Structure 1
Amino acid sequence: VVPAIVKPQSLGSEVPAKLPARPAAPAFDQPSRAVRPQPFYLINFRILVGASLAKVNPQGIANVYVYRGADAPVKWRGLATDGFIAITLKPHVLLR
């Protein structure tokens, strides 16, 4: 008895066509939080400092001035629409 030889019908398996990607689901609009403008800070009326005042030691502060709009010095009035805080350090204190 001779064994029967079965030939494969194809050499590989058929790969299904790639479906187009589904469009992303629309994101639900969450109510946006109101962004309040923040004042900027000046150290000794020279150095512009960001909102992080971690480098300023409270023991080294001589005076703190808060300016809002028209009462700001002329030099800084254009930037003072949201107000700014000017911190004067004591003479021996250095900002690191």
Structure 2
Amino acid sequence: MKIVYEVVRHDGGWAYRLGDVYSEAFPTHAEALEAVRIVAAEQQVAGEASVISYQDKDGVWRREYDDGSDRPEPEIIDSQWAGAPQ
């Protein structure tokens, strides 16, 4: 699975977004870029093995074992280089 973060102007500063969800606003582009790089790196760290319980679309409760190794592949798109000042 691939997830795409985008660094964009937001709320008077800069932020990163995933889909339609924005991070906090940072005063500079460089700060937003540093923050999204940290978040993207954390996405690649394997988690702990665990049993997951969830309700499926039909209302049936399911239990599954997750070994914690299924991590998304993050990508960062940086809109800064479209000529906007930092």
TM-score, normalised with respect to structure 1? 0.20
The structure richer in strand per residue is 2
Higher normalized contact order (CA 8 Å, seq sep 6+, divided by chain length): 2
Structure having the higher Rg: 1
The structure richer in helix per residue is 2
TM-score, normalised with respect to structure 2? 0.21
